[in-house]
């Protein structure tokens, strides 16, 4: 298949790509946890744009959510029929974004795209609208040029990625049968500035909320109290030292080892002359896949029992976040075909990596699907003055075209 006309279509539609980015940023799609009303209005505007531009095979899926005015969190699937429907080539992006944060840190209104020095600046332009726009125009290139891809192409523009995916990919996996085991799944929601890394694995993630209860007392009489802060400090250091026990190394990841870090701490007392009777802190655990999180949790409990006995405190745990997933094999079709596309289009010899963060790929992998995370980006997600490079939207669209066109 000669792809020149499809690549030319991408080059010729740079301004249309910028316009779509501008439209999407102008409609904040914030989760109710961030004070927003979800993706309803943004999804409606995106659907109207897709229909008006010739991508007409669209299905809408609505996860119920009583917290938003619309009552639903919508995701849409766009289909471009292929010559064969033995498997589908999926490209997935999310429509929700995070809040702008402190707006004084922005050059201008974060919900109005600014074009400057080959960049688009605005909330969501990179995370994840860059991938969305590249995918939409890659699919559109086939439709506008009258070219049928060898296999069915599907685009999933989903809700609720930023706050746990309960109303997005999690809901879709539980309530639909969209995916088949042989499908190829690309998620353009992470990468590097050269587009040469393909994420195939994630560290297991656990957030550990630790509550230490002692006895509050005036600071002049520590002998009559039980200092929860002191016990908590000791426990945090001992939990951090578990890195020496779970000490395997895997060069797929950076850093190449498990990390167990004390992070957030809740306020305990309001005065310096009070010994706290309660102290609450959190541990962020990023564990190599060779260890089960239950192993780490059991060791944490053993250590906590030691501290509990030594200090006379009571220690309880909660796990507000706990997720683990298998890796996508390095020889999975999505990986080998993506590598081929990057080589043919850009001359890039891509390599596979693992990451410490979490993406929707983990849920797909847990469900038995092979997914790869890749994009060409400067990792601006969630930052003030978030930007994407226009050339990256174009380059990634061409890579996606090649992936869609492989027989």
The residues carrying an active-site annotation are 96, 161
Phi, psi of 59 (to 5 degrees): -115, 145
Alpha carbons within 13 angstroms on the beta-carbon side of residue 40 total 16
CB 390 within 8 A of CB 18: yes
Record the tokens describing residue 253, joined without a space: 């990841």
The H-or-E segment that residue 315 falls in is strand 314-323
CB 398 within 8 A of CB 345: yes
CA distance 216 to 65: 42
- What order do you get walking across the sheet with 72-80 strand by strand? 58-64, 72-80, 151-158, 84-94, 184-187, 371-373, 197-202, 351-355
Residues 6+ apart with CB under 8 A from 52: none
CB 123 within 8 A of CB 36: no
Give the CA angle between residues 143, 144, 149 to the nearest 5°: 35
Record the tokens describing residue 244, joined without a space: 């020496």
Give the CA angle between residues 40, 46, 47 to the nearest 5°: 90
CB 158 within 8 A of CB 173: no
Residue among 216, 219, 212 nearest 234 (CA): 212
CA distance 72 to 65: 5
CA distance 356 to 252: 11
CA distance 160 to 40: 11
CB 282 within 8 A of CB 177: no
Give Cα 317 distance to the centre of its chain: 26
């Amino acid at each position: 298949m000669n792809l020149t006309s499809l690549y030319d279509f991408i080059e010729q539609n740079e301004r249309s790509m910028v316009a779509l980015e501008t439209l999407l940023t102008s409609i904040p799609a914030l989760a109710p946890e961030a004070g927003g009303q979800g993706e309803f209005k943004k999804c409606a505007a995106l659907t109207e744009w897709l229909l008006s531009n010739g991508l007409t095979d669209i299905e809408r899926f609505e996860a119920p959510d009583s917290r938003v005015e619309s009552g639903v969190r919508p995701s849409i699937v766009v289909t471009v029929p292929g010559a064969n429907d033995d498997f589908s080539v999926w490209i997935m992006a999310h429509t929700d974004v995070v809040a702008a944060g402190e707006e004084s840190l922005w050059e201008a209104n974060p919900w109005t795209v600014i074009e400057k020095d080959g960049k688009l600046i605005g909330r969501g332009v990179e995370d994840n609208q860059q991938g969305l726009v590249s995918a939409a125009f890659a699919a559109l290139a086939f439709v506008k040029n009258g070219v049928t891809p060898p296999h069915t192409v599907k685009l999933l523009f989903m809700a609720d990625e930023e706050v746990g995916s309960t109303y997005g990919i999690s809901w879709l996996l539980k309530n639909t049968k969209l995916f088949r085991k042989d499908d190829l799944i690309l998620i353009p929601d992470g990468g590097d500035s050269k587009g040469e890394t393909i994420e195939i694995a994630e560290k297991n993630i656990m957030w550990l909320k630790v509550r230490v209860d002692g006895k509050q007392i005036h600071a002049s009489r520590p002998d009559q109290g039980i200092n929860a802060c002191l016990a908590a400090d000791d426990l945090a250091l001992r939990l951090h030292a578990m890195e020496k026990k779970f000490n395997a190394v895997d060069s797929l990841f950076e850093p190449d080892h498990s990390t167990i870090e004390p992070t957030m701490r809740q306020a305990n007392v309001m005065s310096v002359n009070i010994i706290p009777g309660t102290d609450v802190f959190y541990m962020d655990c990023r564990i190599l896949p060779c260890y089960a999180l239950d192993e780490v949790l059991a060791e944490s409990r053993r250590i906590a029992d030691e501290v509990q006995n030594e200090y006379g405190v009571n220690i309880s745990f909660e796990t507000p976040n706990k997720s683990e997933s298998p890796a996508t094999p390095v020889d999975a079709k999505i990986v080998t075909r993506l590598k081929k596309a990057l080589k043919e289009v850009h001359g890039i010899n891509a390599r596979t990596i693992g990451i410490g963060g979490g993406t929707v790929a983990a849920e797909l992998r847990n469900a038995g699907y092979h997914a790869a995370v890749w994009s060409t980006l400067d990792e601006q997600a969630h930052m003030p003055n978030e930007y994407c490079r226009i050339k990256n939207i174009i380059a990634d669209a061409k890579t996606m075209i090649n992936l869609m066109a492989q027989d």
